[in-house]
Structure formats: structure tokens, C-alpha cells
């Protein structure tokens, strides 16, 4: 059931739960440094600056001899978290044949109240363990806005399941529903946890752990940290708009621009609507090629990009084009998801100087939370483009658009780093240096195979 193999701990007995509590707490709080986790006692919720992490801790009915140790594990874990509406919130759900809510995310606003409740909890007991029923309950009754979930605000949803027995019902369907909803599953396998069941329910073969020796926990912690980082990054929604120069000045370099944009999209995550892409061309006016909500699949987006014909026209009015993007493309009626917490990203490729001033529209885009990357060739005004970019590091100059492949990995790295920064992992330079932008060309060829390029205009 684990979202990643690295999210699973397997202990010989539940009595050893306390031994992993520091590592798990440190993993969620210290390393990720989430000022906001939300625990769901089975569920946990967390928010970080603009991004909120929603870890969910779910504790099934364990063998009764381990009742105290199980609850001590939960209580001590909560004790180490920063608590409150803007930090960690906790819900506690336990189950055997049926799930039962001890309290939901919005029940308590103070850590002491949660700890007091946990001190008086007794586990349900029972000989039947219906994990499928419990997972359905989590999806329909805990991971909801009315229960305090902040998924609609872009908060990653994470569920940590501690299980010591094989389920008596079918849990595969409910797990698929949770995963399709973008909920990450962490599993801690203890005692009589069924390995085959765990492997079948895990997000991937590497999404669960069976810990046999105490000495393995430091390594498990490192893997958990890496996995949670990856999950948090993959949970970030992004609205990405490409504003490209389609004027006559670009001439026969337009195919190179198309190819570059398509290669960028190959690296985006459009599954579960995490990334959305729009394309706009400009010259003497702006022309929308497709909205953020026009296409749902990466293949369709790439096909449309490679088949776009050059707009043509002159001169270039970049200021008007930026205003068009702000008013018509990032708007919620056109598929913009700023209200859902999606990052708003604009990538402009300019092949010449603007005949109007882009200063005002660029300032308004920044005020609206849009992060702009500016790419220009030698015919453009460098000072103008640097002013448009949101950060000096987000400004790229190339001799000619045929040289665009040389900046692709750097641009992808910056786009990814935005998500790292929002989870306060920006200081982890080694992670970003080693992040593999591999298989780009292989994946590109696989995705673009058979796609006909549009003829070059002029």
C-alpha cells in the first residue's frame, strides 16, 4: 500500500514501534522542515509556506497486547510536530471490521488537546481487519474539505498505514481510488503483515519496506526522506504558459522554437492534471493556440505544438502579449488553477525587441504570483528581457534559437527547484545536481514517433 517502497517499515513486533518514531518524525518534520504537517491520526496534515503537506497516519487495530505501544508511538510522534491550523493538524482513525473516527483534522487546534485525547484512546480490537473498507472511509470521510483536508489548496495528501495483519476484504480497489486522487501511501509493516499483499498494494515495487534489523532504520530514514521529497515535488500543480515569438523576424527559426517547447513538455508531469500547458504566439498582436484546459494528455499537447504554424506579422508588441496572457490565459475561466494552489509559470521566447513597453504588464504578472522565465536571442533587448524575468537566474540569452537545447536542462532544473524551494528543500543542492533529467531524448522519440511536423512558414 506504500506510495513508494521507501515508505514502508516492517518491525518484528508492534512493541518496537517507539524505536522508529524519532526517525519517522524527523523525516516528516526536520528534514522536510514542514512548518505545516497535518496528521491524520491516522492522518496527518502539514503546510509549508505556500505548499502544505498532508501526511496521514493511519493506525489499524493492532494485536491488543501492543495497544499501549501503538498509542504511545502516535502520541510521541504528535508531540514532536509543530501544531496548529497553519502548521500540523491531526485526525485519528482506527479500524478493524469497520473504521471509527477518534477525531478529525478540524476537531482540535491545540497540541495539548490532541495529546490529552490520545492518552484516553483505547483500540477497537476485533478479529476481522477490513483494510478496503477503512481506505474507502479515509477517501470519503477524512480526505475531504469538510473534514479539514486542504487538497483543494494544493496540499499534497499522504497516508501512512501501519498494518500488522492481512486484510479480510479486498483493498486493491480502494487503494487505486486513493492513488488516482493523488494521495501518497506510506506503509509500516509489522509482525504479521502480509508481504505479497503489501507488494500488490504498493505504488511500485520499491514502495514498501520490511525492516528486519534495527540497524536498517538510518538507511530507511534516508530513503523515506528522498521519497517524500519526490512525492511532494510531484504533487505540486503547475500552470505553464509558453509565449513564443511568431513574428516574421523569427523566419526559419520557428521550427527550432517548436521543437524546444515540445522537448520541455516531454519532461512535464501531466498525469492526474498536475501540469497544464498553454501556448500563445505573438507579433503585432497575441494569438492563443490552446488554453491550459484544452488538452489533458502530454501526447496531445506535443502533437499540437509540433503542428503549430507560425503566426507571422510584425512588429513585436511584447507588452500587449504579456497583458493578454495575464487577462486571458492564466484566468480561471481559461483553466488557470491559481485558486487551487497551482504554480503560475510563464516562459517567454523573444526573437526581437518590443515596440511597446512590457514594464507595466510584467509588473502586474509578478504581482499576480506569476513566475516568468525569459529567453531571448541576439536581436532582443537584454535589459528588457531581464526586467521581464522574475529572477536574474530566470533570464537566458542564446545566440540563436537553434541553440535552445543548450539551456533546456538548466531551465528544467529551475522549474523543479521552484517546488523544492516551496518545501524548504532548496538548500539541498546535491539533490538538484543529481536529479536525473535522463531519457529525455529517448522519451521524446517515443512520444513524437509518427507525429508530422507542420510546414515552416515563409
pLDDT in tens, 168-184: 998 888 888 887 777 77
Q: CA-CA distances (angstroms) from residue 445 to 256, 348, 411, 442, 451?
A: 16, 25, 20, 5, 10
Domain count, the chain: 2
pTM given for the model: 0.54
For a pLDDT cut of 70, what percent of the chain falls above it? 64
| Structural domain contains residue 372 | yes
Q: Are residues 245 and 258 in the same domain?
A: yes
Domain boundary among 233, 253, 288: 233
Cell numbers 506579422 correspond to what residue? 313
Cα(40)–Cα(160) distance, integer angstroms = 9
Containing 321, the helix (H) or strand (E) segment is helix 318-324
Domain boundary among 166, 201, 233: 233
6: DSSP letter: G
| Structural domain contains residue 455 | no
Q: Are residues 100 and 243 in the same domain?
A: no
| Structural domain contains residue 21 | yes
| Structural domain contains residue 41 | yes
| Structural domain contains residue 456 | no
Task: Collect contacts of 410-418 with beta carbons under 8 A, ≥24 apart.
Answer: 411/264, 411/347, 411/373, 411/375, 412/264, 412/267, 412/437, 413/437, 414/373, 415/238, 415/240, 415/345, 415/373, 416/233, 418/343, 418/345, 418/371
Q: Say yes or no to pLDDT of 214 above 70.
A: no
Task: Give ∠ CA 277-278-284 in degrees, rounded to 5.
Answer: 155
| Structural domain contains residue 301 | yes
Q: Are residues 185 and 243 in the same domain?
A: no
Taking residue 128's Cβ as centre, other Cβ atoms within 10 Å add up to: 14
Q: Say yes or no to pLDDT of 122 above 50.
A: yes
User: Can you give the pLDDT at residue 269?
Assistant: 86
List pLDDT tens digits, range 392-438: 989 999 999 999 999 999 999 888 777 555 544 333 333 333 333 32
Structural domain range at position 289: 238-448
List pLDDT tens digits, range 320-329: 999 999 999 9
| Structural domain contains residue 123 | yes
Q: Are residues 279 and 207 in the same domain?
A: no
| Structural domain contains residue 333 | yes
Question: What CATH number is associated with residue 334?
Answer: 3.40.50.410
Cα(192)–Cα(32) distance, integer angstroms = 31
Q: Are residues 15 and 78 in the same domain?
A: yes
Q: Are residues 279 and 383 in the same domain?
A: yes
Q: Are residues 219 and 190 in the same domain?
A: yes
Residues 193 and 13: beta-carbon distance below 8 Å: no
Q: Are residues 205 and 297 in the same domain?
A: no
User: Can you give the pLDDT at residue 234?
Assistant: 62
Q: Are residues 317 and 210 in the same domain?
A: no
C-alpha cell at 258: 517548436
Q: Are residues 142 and 277 in the same domain?
A: no
Q: Are residues 299 and 409 in the same domain?
A: yes
For a pLDDT cut of 90, what percent of the chain falls above it? 34
Domain boundary among 184, 205, 233: 233
Q: Say yes or no to pLDDT of 209 above 50.
A: yes
Q: Are residues 180 and 261 in the same domain?
A: no
Amino acid at each position: 500500500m506504500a506510495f513508494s517502497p521507501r515508505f514502508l517499515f516492517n518491525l518484528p513486533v508492534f512493541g518496537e514501534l517507539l524505536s522508529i518514531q524519532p526517525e519517522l518524525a524527523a523525516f516528516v518534520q526536520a528534514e522536510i522542515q514542514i512548518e505545516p504537517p497535518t496528521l491524520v491520526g491516522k492522518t496527518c496534515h502539514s503546510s509549508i509556506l505556500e505548499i502544505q503537506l498532508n501526511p496521514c497516519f493511519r493506525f489499524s487495530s493492532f494485536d491488543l497486547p501492543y495497544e499501549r505501544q501503538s498509542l504511545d508511538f502516535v502520541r510521541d510522534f504528535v508531540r514532536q510536530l509543530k501544531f496548529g491550523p497553519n502548521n500540523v493538524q491531526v485526525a485519528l482513525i482506527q479500524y478493524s471490521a469497520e473504521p471509527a473516527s477518534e477525531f478529525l483534522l478540524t476537531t482540535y487546534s491545540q497540541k495539548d488537546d490532541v495529546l490529552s485525547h490520545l492518552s484516553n484512546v483505547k483500540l477497537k480490537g476485533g478479529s476481522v481487519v477490513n483494510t478496503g473498507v477503512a481506505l474507502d472511509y479515509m477517501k470519503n470521510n477524512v480526505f475531504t474539505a469538510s473534514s479539514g483536508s486542504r487538497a483543494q489548496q494544493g496540499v499534497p495528501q499522504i497516508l501512512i498505514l501501519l498494518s500488522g495483519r492481512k486484510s479480510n476484504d479486498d483493498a486493491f480497489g480502494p487503494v487505486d481510488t486513493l492513488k488516482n486522487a493523488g494521495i501518497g501511501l506510506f506503509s509500516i509493516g509489522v509482525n504479521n503483515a502480509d508481504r505479497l499483499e503489501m507488494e500488490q498494494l504498493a505504488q511500485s515495487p520499491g514502495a514498501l519496506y520490511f525492516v528486519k534489523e534495527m540497524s536498517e532504520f538510518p538507511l530507511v530514514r534516508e530513503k523515506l526522506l528522498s521519497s517524500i521529497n519526490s512525492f511532494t515535488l510531484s504533487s505540486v500543480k503547475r500552470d505553464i504558459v509558453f509565449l513564443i515569438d511568431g513574428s516574421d523576424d523569427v523566419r526559419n527559426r520557428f521550427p527550432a522554437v517548436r521543437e524546444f517547447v515540445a522537448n520541455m513538455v516531454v519532461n512535464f508531469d501531466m498525469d492526474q492534471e498536475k501540469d497544464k500547458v498553454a501556448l500563445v504566439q505573438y507579433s503585432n498582436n497575441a494569438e492563443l493556440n490552446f488554453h491550459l484546459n484544452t488538452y489533458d494528455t502530454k501526447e496531445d499537447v506535443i502533437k499540437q505544438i509540433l503542428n503549430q504554424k507560425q503566426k507571422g506579422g510584425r512588429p513585436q508588441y511584447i507588452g500587449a502579449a504579456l497583458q493578454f496572457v495575464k487577462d486571458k490565459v492564466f484566468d480561471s475561466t481559461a483553466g488557470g488553477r491559481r485558486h487551487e494552489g497551482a504554480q503560475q509559470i510563464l516562459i517567454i521566447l523573444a526573437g526581437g525587441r518590443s515596440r511597446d513597453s512590457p514594464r507595466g504588464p510584467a509588473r502586474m504578472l509578478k504581482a499576480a504570483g506569476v513566475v516568468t522565465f525569459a529567453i531571448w536571442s541576439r536581436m532582443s533587448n537584454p535589459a528588457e528581457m531581464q526586467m521581464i524575468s522574475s529572477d536574474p537566474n530566470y533570464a537566458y540569452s542564446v545566440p540563436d534559437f537553434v541553440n535552445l537545447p543548450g539551456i533546456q536542462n538548466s531551465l528544467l532544473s529551475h522549474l523543479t527547484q521552484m517546488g523544492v524551494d516551496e518545501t524548504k528543500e532548496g538548500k539541498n543542492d546535491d539533490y538538484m545536481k543529481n536529479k536525473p533529467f535522463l531519457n529525455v531524448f529517448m522519451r521524446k522519440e517515443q512520444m513524437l514517433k509518427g507525429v508530422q511536423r507542420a510546414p515552416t512558414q515563409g
